[in-house]
Amino acid sequence: MSDFEVLVIGAGPGGYVAAIKAAQHGKKVAVVEKEHLGGVCLNWGCIPTKALLKSAEILDAARHAKDYGLVVPEAKPDVAAVMKRSRDVAGSMSKGIDFLLKKNKVTVLSGTAAFTGPKTVAITKADGSTQTVSGDAVIIATGHQPRSFPHLPVDGEQVVNYRHLLARTSAPASLLCIGAGAIGMEFGYFFNAMGTKVTVVEALDQVLPLEDSEISQFVARSFTKGGIDVRTATKVVKLERKPGSVAVHLEKDGKAEVVEVETVLVAVGFLANTANLGLDKAGVQLDERGFVKVDANQATTATGVYAIGDVAGKQLLAHKASFEGEAAVGHICGHPQPVDYAQIPGCTYCQPQVASLGLTEKKAKDRGRPYKVGKFQFMASGKAKAIGHPEGFVKLIFDAEHMQLIGAHMTGYDATELLGELSVAMKLEATATELMLTVHAHPTLHEAVMEAAADALGCCVHQ
């Protein structure tokens, strides 16, 4: 007999959710974690970075207090205190995960796991001792690690990744972010607010490459207006370390340039954490990109072994990992519930924030799908004007035949908080008419959704 009915490797947002769900189904469950409960998201990603960004927002608001008729002494950042708050928030959340696991009677095994057989795992503890356990079903939830390149060697001091930045207690005088995805843009916004001279470099022709082009263009203009040097369609050729600085060699349209900064952030993607897992001993295969191969139920090529979250590819997002955890447990318990990847929302928490769901306009066009677009600018929103944030807009994309919602893209203050309504709408296959006729409280930012739906129909509601 196996030691556990379900054995989970990794206690991130996919792993701990899977473990708790399996326990709630009456299974005997254990989760193996080599570092901190909550994984990268809770300890080094989603949660601590949002704490940092909130400090940046409050600092920016204090600097503009006069715009609200308030007199506030000159606001200055205490970066060490900001960083400490971020770590404290992450720490308290990790304790919360520990409480939930104990409450649901999930056994926590500390150490590094590696397969020794099809469903058998050896756990190496901090003191070097080992323990071997087995599971009727094993769920791999080992997450990701930052991608590195030979010409962009990370040393943790002058050239860093996001984890190194989160451990700092001071802001660099200058920072160059290589990569304008969510990490590069969020840290770029944060350190700019802290007083750092920031440059963001992206090899593709727009920041936030996965977002709708209009949204990306708006955010790039906002960053530039805020004093951030944004460079798209620009390659980083090499890094040259010097005492106290790094010379970054750039190339755009065949023209070379060197930018010298104190610190370089490398934010150019992720690799699946599969090294030293012994996947070959379990019969688990990887795809061509190095992620674990899974089917619609998260099952791998090895019977009884599943993979969820970043290690299984697709969108590398915490909420996607959690839903995959539920999908894997559902299949184990005989209640399949595959994840619908077309309805995974994405968020970027710089200001202005970015929130998206479904098809971009370009994707709809590339697929030859007839569509209609509805837009609403926050500058026409009473609530946005009242709170002093009229920047940004809502852009909704509808199937032209039935006017069903197939894409939602927003940028603006707290835009990520507007996405829930549209996630439900897309799940229920709502139409533009239904969104327009849904009564939205006034004044709220949510009214922009109603107005954008009305615009797609060629009419207006309350403008």
Query: Would strands 174-178 and 353-358 be described as parallel, antiparallel, or unpaired?
Result: unpaired
Distance, in Å, from the CA atom of 100 to the CA atom of 81, rounded to the nearest integer, reads: 29
DSSP state of 66: G
Distance, in Å, from the CA atom of 438 to the CA atom of 447, rounded to the nearest integer, reads: 10
Q: Write the DSSP assignment of 114-155 as a string of letters.
A: EEEETTEEEEE-TTS-EEEEEEEEEEE---EEE--BTTB---
Find all residues with CB under 8 Å of 364, minimum gap 6, and list them: 371, 397, 406, 407
Residues 15-68: tens digit of each pLDDT: 999 999 999 999 999 999 998 899 888 888 899 999 999 999 999 999 999 999
Distance, in Å, from the CA atom of 116 to the CA atom of 273, rounded to the nearest integer, reads: 17
pLDDT at 141 (0 to 100): 98
Residues 164-175: tens digit of each pLDDT: 999 999 999 999
Tokens read off for 288: 């061509």
Residues 272-288: tens digit of each pLDDT: 999 999 999 999 999 99
Place of tokens 């010097």: 242
Domains of the chain by residue range: 4-146+271-342, 159-268, 352-456
> What's at 140, amino acid-wise?
I
Query: How many C-beta atoms surround the C-beta of residue 337 within 10 A?
Result: 13
Average pLDDT, the chain: 96
CA-based Rg of the chain, rounded to a whole angstrom?
23
pLDDT at 41 (0 to 100): 86
Select the CATH number that applies to the domain covering 352-456 from these four: 3.40.50.300, 3.40.50.1400, 3.20.20.70, 3.30.390.30: 3.30.390.30
Residues in the chain, how many? 463
> Looking at residues 435-453, what average pLDDT do you find?
97
- Fold category of 159-268 in CATH: FAD/NAD(P)-binding domain (3.50.50)
Residue 461 has pLDDT above 80, yes or no: no
Helix axes 46-63, 182-193, angle to 10 degrees: 40
pLDDT at 460 (0 to 100): 67
Report pTM: 0.95
CA 179 to chain centre: 14
Burial class (CB in 10 A: 0-12, 13-18, 19+), 448: buried
* Helix H or strand E segment including 60: helix 46-63
Confidence of residue 365 (pLDDT cuts 50, 70, 90): very high
Distance, in Å, from the CA atom of 154 to the CA atom of 97, rounded to the nearest integer, reads: 31
Place of tokens 């520990």: 98
Q: Are 197 and 223 in contact (CB under 8 A)?
A: no
Cα→Cα distances 140→80, 146, 226, Å: 36, 19, 42
Do 159-268 and 4-146+271-342 have the same topology in CATH?
A: yes
CATH class of 4-146+271-342: alpha beta
In angstroms, the first-to-last Cα distance of the chain is 68
Task: State percent of the chain over pLDDT 90.
Answer: 95
Burial class (CB in 10 A: 0-12, 13-18, 19+), 279: buried
Catalytic (active-site) positions = 442
Tokens read off for 277: 């897992």
pLDDT at 2 (0 to 100): 86
Residue 255 has pLDDT above 50, yes or no: yes
Residues 203-231: tens digit of each pLDDT: 999 999 999 999 999 999 999 999 999 99
